[in-house]
Amino acid sequence: MPEFDVAIRGGTVVTASDTFRADVGIRDGRIAAVAETVEGAAREIDASGLLVMPGGIDSHVHFAQHAGPDITPADDFASGTAAAAAGGNTCVLPFALQVKGTSLRESVEEYRRKADGECYIDVGFHLIITQPTPEVLGQELPALVKAGHTSFKVFMTYDELVLNDRELLEVFEVARRERALVMVHAEGYDAIRFMTERLERAGHTEPYYHAASRPEAVEREATHRAISHAELVDVPIMIVHVSGREAMEQIRWARQRGLKIYAETCPQYITLTAEDLRDAGVEMSGAKYVCSPPPRDRESHRAIWEGLEQGVFQTFSSDHSPFRYDDPRGKLTPKGRTSFRWVPNGIPGVETRLPILFSEGVAKGRISLNRFVELAATNHAKLYGLYPRKGSIAVGFDADIVLWDPNRKETIRQEILHHGSDYTPWEGFAVTGWPVVTMARGEIVAEHGKLVGRKGRGEILEREISPYAAAPA
Ligand code: DUC
Ligand code: ZN
Ligand code: ZN
C-alpha cells in the first residue's frame, strides 16, 4: 500500500513564517509529511512553478442570511462555498443570525439545516446577537460557545440589528467570561439616521448618498465607543471591515493603551471608492457598490495599505454579502429606488479576495508572501479557534491547500466566477496571481476555474476557544 494518498511535488511551500522548497505528503485528509522529497503516493500532483500555501480562510462571509421580507441574498451555502473554493479558499466562517423574536439556539439550528449537505468546503458559524435577553446571555450563549460557536458579531447600527450601549456591554461581559471573540460592526446608528434623513429631505436619494450618510466620523465614533466599552469590561474585541484612517487611528490608540483590539479590512477598502457609487450613466448602477462601511477614497486606500503592512490588521476578509443587481429582490428592490437607505447592503467578494490581495499586495511589492498567508489564512485560524488544525502547512494540519500560480495574469469578469450574484464589483480588474488547484482535507474541490468537488463534503466545524480571544485572567 502506498504510504501517502497524495504527494504534491516540486512546489514552493509558503507559510506565515517561511518560504521553502518542499514536497507535501497527504494521508487521510491531513498533512503527513513536509520534506525535501516525498515518495510513495497513490497520486502525485506536479506543483513546479507554483506556490503551495494554506487554503484561504475567509472569516467574514454571509450566506443565505435573512435580509428582510422582500430581499433574497444571492448565495446559499452551496453557491457560496463553491465560489469560495474556486477562489482558493478551503474554509469560510459565515453567520447564524438571531432573527428578533426567536431564540439564538433556534437560529443556529436553522442555519445548520441550511448548510447541512450543501457545502463544498468546511464552514463554521459565528453568531449574530440581536436580542441579548437574560436567557440568551445567561444560558444560550454559554452553551453555544461550549458547542463550538466561539465568536459572535454585534451591530452598532441597522434597525433590525442594532444593540444599545448597555446591551453591547452585556454581550462583552459574556464574551469575557466564556472566552469568546466579539466582532463589532462599528458605525453609529443615530448619526447615520440623522445624516440619512437630512440627505433625503434635500432630495439626495441616489445610491451615491449612501456613502455621504455614513462618513468616516460615523465609523470613528463607533469604533472609539466599542473600544471604550471593551476597556470597561476588559475584553479583547475585533473591529471588522475597517474602511479608512480614522477608525485605524482609534485602533492604534487603543493598542498603545495596552488594549487587545484586533482589526479586519477587506478588498473593497483598497480598491473601490465612493465615486463607484455614482450612477455611471445607468440609473441605480451605483447600487452595485453599496456596502457598509462604504468605500472611501484613494487616500484611504493608502492608509489601509499602511495598516496591512504595519500590522494594524490581523485579517483580510471579503465581507461577502451578495445580492443580485438586476432583481427586484436584490439591489433593484422597488423601495431601493425611492432612497439609498433601502438598497440592500453588501457586495460579492469571496471568490476574488485572494487574487486581489495577492495582486495588489504581493505582486506590487507591498507585502511579503508570508504576510499574504497570514492575512489570508493563518490569522483567521488563530483568532477564531481553528489553529493548529487549519491555517498552515505542517504535519498534522488538515490538508487544506491552494496551489497558486504567482505569475498568471487574469482579468476578473462575472462570466468566470461561481457566485450567485449577477455581477462583480471588480469587472475588468486585472490581477497577477491566481489559484490553480484548491484542495480541502486532501480532496481537490476546484481546479483551473472548475468546481470538481462534491457538494456536501464540507463539514460544519466546532471551533475551539482562541487563546488570542481570551481576556487576561
Ligand atoms: N455588515 C456586514 O458585515 N456585512 C454586510 C452588511 C453589513 O453592514
Ligand atoms: Zn458589518
Ligand atoms: Zn459582513
Fold of 56-363: TIM Barrel (3.20.20)
Residue 471 pLDDT greater than 80, yes or no: no
Whole-number Å distance, alpha carbon 44 to ligand 1 midpoint, is 42
pLDDT tens-digit readout, 83-103: 999 999 999 999 999 999 999
Residue 401 pLDDT greater than 80, yes or no: yes
State the sign of the Cα–Cα–Cα–Cα dihedral 58, 212, 188, 345: negative
Task: Classify the phi-psi angles of 144: left when phi > 0, otherwise alpha if psi is within -120 to 50, otherwise beta.
Answer: alpha
* Range 6-34 average pLDDT: 98
Q: What is the pLDDT of residue 15?
A: 99
pTM: 0.98
Say which ligand is closest to the CA of 95. 3
Q: What is the pLDDT of residue 281?
A: 86
Residue ranges of domains in the chain: 56-363
Amino acid letter for position 394: A
Ligand 1: list residues with CB < 6 Å.
62, 185, 241, 292, 319, 321, 345-346
Whole-number Å distance, alpha carbon 330 to ligand 1 midpoint, is 15
pLDDT tens-digit readout, 241-288: 999 999 999 999 999 999 999 999 999 999 999 999 999 889 899 999
- Grid coordinates belonging to 165: 450601549
Residue 289 pLDDT greater than 90, yes or no: yes
Degrees (nearest 5) of the Cα angle 325, 413, 351?
Answer: 80
- Grid coordinates belonging to 233: 469590561
Which percentage of the chain shows pLDDT scores above 70?
100
pLDDT tens-digit readout, 51-84: 999 999 999 999 999 999 999 999 999 999 999 9
* Range 188-197 average pLDDT: 98
> Is residue 11 within 8 Å of 36, Cβ to Cβ?
no
Ligand 1: which of 345, 350, 353 to mutate, judged by most atoms within 8 Å of the beta carbon? 345
- Grid coordinates belonging to 405: 500560480
Element containing residue 392 per DSSP (H, E):
none
Q: What is the mean pLDDT of the chain?
A: 97
Residue 473 pLDDT greater than 80, yes or no: no
Whole-number Å distance, alpha carbon 317 to ligand 3 midpoint, is 9
* Range 21-45 average pLDDT: 98
Whole-number Å distance, alpha carbon 321 to ligand 1 midpoint, is 7
